[in-house]
């Protein structure tokens, strides 16, 4: 029986918490599936630890919390060979930093579908990426028909720590205890689902987001209290999977591609992520929504490709400049068999490109701006929608059988130069970098890059803090996390003042 005092906001001081496990809480599901081993291997405990060991020195002005999702299957998948990374049960890993010290907590997002599996003591839901194969179970009466894996993004908004998954509504968690509080529907204004890739308007603090359901895309803008202040729908022309998008000062920019998320096939037990070029016969198209007028303008690329994630976009007198990672194809071919593909065939390496959308011709010109394969592009979010100089991403150069990512990169859009940092001491599999602007900073690259890496020697994770402006291999600090954070998608930083206000609001 644990006997802990009531949590204090973001405390980093060791109390009488039990010592963290010295070795990973590994499970043996007897599978060679890449997504259940190495940096992806699940961690089977909800864990907290205080006053973590730090190599180097945490900056005195770094105070707040890094929240990241973990794709962490709680039960052995029904078909371990067909299990895919995208299907891991969402957990949230919170690393709380202040006064040069750090604490950590990781918990699962307790969705309604997870409650059903916890009650059963085993997995009940089949996968959606590779289909269920022969492994299907009848769900108990009243169980949600589809699983919410709540595993894609996490961030504080309107005093709620929201965990996003584009197949359903976000879930709210207490920002310190990480206890799940239920789904969040923006005061009833959002009914089915919303993107995991919301943006925050730098001028207003409003959340800018959307829901893509079938061929329809519905736009939302919510003010900082969570009240939806604008909404608008338009037809994409096909049931495109629209995972990420970008905004410029006045516009919302979507790239409609042959990539589809097909619930009808998933319900038949077939692979649900498809590449169907017949859906966009003229090639992928940008749909640009003017947020002031709701006018939608289309720009043809003439190319078959899909976005993975976006760096940024800005408006010019003659059009729009959009920087993003693109991929030649993604998912199962629509006209092929239903057999699972290997991970690098299903998701080939993405490259960073710049697209220039021409207002006069409604077409695009484009150029690769970094020859280093990569994913998870990020910027200093204070530059969102404006012309910026630096982009950061993880590299995917080596097509490793063990990992997806293998280095941390910074691209300089003004010089065309990309610098890649290898992990120190054999660390690899870095997470998406999160840029934390230094307090009072005015320069774009004045801040810290926070990434979570896998240490193959210990099987555990480390949070590395790099100085963005110096961008050298040796980080300022390495926080030794007490767990392995199973490799996952996205996350964000909350400044201490924002975090404390949210904790206080939750207690009010
Ligand atoms: Fe994403």
SS (H, E, C) 189-211: CCCCCCCCCCEECCCCCCEEEEE
- Say how many Å lie between the CA of residue 4 and the centre of ligand 1: 36
Structure-model confidence comparison of residues 136 and 25, the more confident one = 136
Query: Which among 399, 413, 411, 38 has a CA at the least distance from the CA of 421?
Result: 411
- Say how many Å lie between the CA of residue 254 and the centre of ligand 1: 14
pLDDT digits (tens, 9 = 90+) for 362-399: 999 999 999 999 999 999 999 999 999 999 999 999 88
pLDDT digits (tens, 9 = 90+) for 222-265: 999 999 999 999 999 999 999 999 999 999 999 999 999 888 88
Mean per-residue pLDDT over the chain, rounded: 91
- Say how many Å lie between the CA of residue 432 and the centre of ligand 1: 10
pLDDT digits (tens, 9 = 90+) for 390-437: 999 999 998 888 899 999 999 999 999 999 999 999 999 999 999 999
Asked if residues 25 and 485 have their Cβ atoms less than 8 Å apart, the reply is: no
Give the phi and the psi of residue 382 in degrees, each rounded to 5. Answer: -65, -15
- Say how many Å lie between the CA of residue 332 and the centre of ligand 1: 18
Mean pLDDT for the stretch of residues 267-286? 91
- Say how many Å lie between the CA of residue 446 and the centre of ligand 1: 25
- Say how many Å lie between the CA of residue 15 and the centre of ligand 1: 36
Other CB atoms closer than 10 Å to residue 125's CB: what's the count?
25
Cβ-in-10-Å burial (0-12, 13-18, 19+) of 419 comes to: middle
Name the DSSP letter for residue 238: S
- Say how many Å lie between the CA of residue 373 and the centre of ligand 1: 16
Residue 16 scores a pLDDT above 50: no
- Say how many Å lie between the CA of residue 243 and the centre of ligand 1: 6
| Residue 134 pLDDT grade (very low, low, confident, very high; cuts 50, 70, 90) | low
Integer Cα distance of 208 and 199 in angstroms: 5
- Say how many Å lie between the CA of residue 63 and the centre of ligand 1: 26
**pLDDT at residue number 14:** 45
**pLDDT at residue number 22:** 46
Integer Cα distance of 468 and 470 in angstroms: 6
- Say how many Å lie between the CA of residue 120 and the centre of ligand 1: 31
**pLDDT at residue number 10:** 47
Residue 6 scores a pLDDT above 70: no
Residue 80 scores a pLDDT above 80: yes
- Say how many Å lie between the CA of residue 507 and the centre of ligand 1: 31
- Say how many Å lie between the CA of residue 86 and the centre of ligand 1: 10
- Say how many Å lie between the CA of residue 187 and the centre of ligand 1: 25
Integer Cα distance of 378 and 108 in angstroms: 25
- Say how many Å lie between the CA of residue 261 and the centre of ligand 1: 14
**pLDDT at residue number 44:** 86
- Say how many Å lie between the CA of residue 212 and the centre of ligand 1: 14
- Say how many Å lie between the CA of residue 1 and the centre of ligand 1: 39
**pLDDT at residue number 2:** 40
Residue 467 scores a pLDDT above 60: yes
Strands 207-213, 216-222: pairing kind: antiparallel
- Say how many Å lie between the CA of residue 497 and the centre of ligand 1: 27
- Say how many Å lie between the CA of residue 508 and the centre of ligand 1: 33
| Residue 352 pLDDT grade (very low, low, confident, very high; cuts 50, 70, 90) | very high
**pLDDT at residue number 150:** 96
| Residue 8 pLDDT grade (very low, low, confident, very high; cuts 50, 70, 90) | very low
- Say how many Å lie between the CA of residue 197 and the centre of ligand 1: 7
- Say how many Å lie between the CA of residue 384 and the centre of ligand 1: 17
Name the DSSP letter for residue 438: P
Integer Cα distance of 372 and 397 in angstroms: 7
pLDDT digits (tens, 9 = 90+) for 278-311: 999 999 999 999 999 999 999 999 999 999 999 9
- Say how many Å lie between the CA of residue 490 and the centre of ligand 1: 7
Residue 5 scores a pLDDT above 50: no
- Say how many Å lie between the CA of residue 206 and the centre of ligand 1: 20
Structure-model confidence comparison of residues 332 and 178, the more confident one = 178
Is the pTM here over 0.85, yes or no? yes
Residue 3 scores a pLDDT above 60: no
| Residue 497 pLDDT grade (very low, low, confident, very high; cuts 50, 70, 90) | very high
| Residue 9 pLDDT grade (very low, low, confident, very high; cuts 50, 70, 90) | very low
- Say how many Å lie between the CA of residue 318 and the centre of ligand 1: 29
- Say how many Å lie between the CA of residue 245 and the centre of ligand 1: 10
- Say how many Å lie between the CA of residue 56 and the centre of ligand 1: 31
- Say how many Å lie between the CA of residue 154 and the centre of ligand 1: 11
**pLDDT at residue number 15:** 43
* Alpha-carbon Rg for the chain in angstroms: 22
| Residue 128 pLDDT grade (very low, low, confident, very high; cuts 50, 70, 90) | confident
Integer Cα distance of 78 and 273 in angstroms: 19
- Say how many Å lie between the CA of residue 14 and the centre of ligand 1: 34
**pLDDT at residue number 261:** 86
| Residue 359 pLDDT grade (very low, low, confident, very high; cuts 50, 70, 90) | very high
Q: Percent of the chain having pLDDT more than 70?
A: 94
- Say how many Å lie between the CA of residue 414 and the centre of ligand 1: 26
- Say how many Å lie between the CA of residue 122 and the centre of ligand 1: 28
Asked if residues 190 and 228 have their Cβ atoms less than 8 Å apart, the reply is: yes
**pLDDT at residue number 26:** 63
CA distance readout (Å), 199 to 108, 196, 207, 492: 24, 10, 6, 11
**pLDDT at residue number 141:** 93
- Say how many Å lie between the CA of residue 310 and the centre of ligand 1: 9
- Say how many Å lie between the CA of residue 2 and the centre of ligand 1: 37
- Say how many Å lie between the CA of residue 309 and the centre of ligand 1: 6
**pLDDT at residue number 62:** 96
Asked if residues 405 and 396 have their Cβ atoms less than 8 Å apart, the reply is: yes
Asked if residues 341 and 273 have their Cβ atoms less than 8 Å apart, the reply is: no
Structure-model confidence comparison of residues 126 and 288, the more confident one = 288
Residue 24 scores a pLDDT above 60: no
DSSP calls for 350-414 = PEEEEEEEETTTSBEEEEEEE-S-EEEEE--GGGTTS--SEEEEEE--S--SS-S--EEEEEETT
- Say how many Å lie between the CA of residue 196 and the centre of ligand 1: 7
Which residue is associated with the tokens 């934390």? 436
């Amino acid at each position: 029986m644990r006997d802990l005092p009531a949590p204090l906001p973001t405390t980093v001081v060791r109390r009488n918490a039990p010592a963290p496990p010295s070795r990973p809480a590994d499970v043996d599901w007897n599978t060679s599936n890449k997504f259940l081993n190495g940096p992806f291997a699940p961690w089977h405990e909800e864990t907290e630890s205080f006053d973590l060991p730090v190599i180097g020195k945490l900056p005195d002005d770094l105070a707040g919390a890094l929240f990241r999702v973990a794709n962490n299957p709680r039960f052995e998948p029904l078909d371990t060979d067909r299990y895919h990374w995208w299907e891991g049960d969402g957990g949230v890993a919170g690393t709380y930093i202040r006064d040069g010290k750090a604490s950590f907590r990781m918990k699962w997002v307790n969705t309604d579908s997870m409650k059903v599996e916890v009650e059963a003591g085993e997995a009940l839901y089949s996968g959606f990426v590779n289909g269920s194969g022969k492994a299907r179970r009848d769900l108990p009466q009243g169980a949600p028909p589809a699983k919410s894996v709540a595993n894609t993004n996490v961030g504080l908004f309107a005093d709620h720590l929201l965990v996003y998954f584009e197949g359903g509504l976000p879930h709210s968690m207490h920002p310190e205890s990480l206890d799940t509080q239920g789904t969040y529907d923006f005061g009833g204004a959002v009914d089915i689902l919303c993107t995991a890739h919301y943006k925050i308007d730098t001028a207003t603090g409003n959340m800018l987001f959307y829901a893509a359901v079938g061929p329809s895309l519905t736009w939302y803008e919510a003010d900082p209290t969570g009240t939806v202040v604008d909404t608008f729908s338009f037809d994409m022309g096909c049931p495109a999977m629209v995972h990420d998008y970008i905004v410029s000062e006045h516009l919302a920019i979507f790239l409609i591609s042959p990539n589809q998320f097909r619930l009808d096939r998933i319900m038949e037990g077939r692979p649900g992520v498809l590449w169907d070029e017949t859906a966009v016969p003229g090639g992928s198209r940008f749909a640009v929504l003017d947020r002031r007028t709701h006018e939608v303008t289309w720009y043809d690329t003439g190319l078959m490709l899909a976005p993975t994630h976006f760096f940024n976009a800005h408006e010019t007198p003659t059009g729009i400049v959009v920087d993003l990672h693109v991929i030649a194809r993604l998912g199962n071919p629509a006209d092929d068999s239903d057999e699972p593909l290997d991970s690098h065939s299903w998701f080939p390496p993405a490259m960073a490109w710049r697209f220039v959308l021409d207002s006069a011709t409604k077409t695009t010109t484009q150029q690769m701006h970094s020859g280093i394969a990569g994913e998870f592009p990020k910027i200093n979010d204070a530059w969102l929608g404006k012309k910026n100089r630096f982009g950061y991403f993880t590299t995917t150069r080596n097509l490793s059988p063990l990992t997806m990512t293998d280095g941390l990169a910074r691209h300089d859009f003004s010089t065309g130069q990309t610098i890649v940092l290898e992990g120190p001491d054999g660390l690899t599999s870095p997470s998406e970098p999160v840029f934390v602007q230094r307090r009072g900073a005015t320069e774009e690259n004045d801040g810290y890059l926070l990434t979570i890496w896998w240490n193959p020697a210990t099987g555990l994770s480390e949070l590395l803090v790099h100085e963005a402006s110096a961008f050298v291999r040796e980080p300022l600090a390495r926080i030794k996390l007490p767990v392995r954070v199973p490799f996952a998608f996205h996350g964000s930083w909350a400044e201490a003042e924002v975090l404390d206000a949210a904790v206080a609001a939750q207690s009010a």
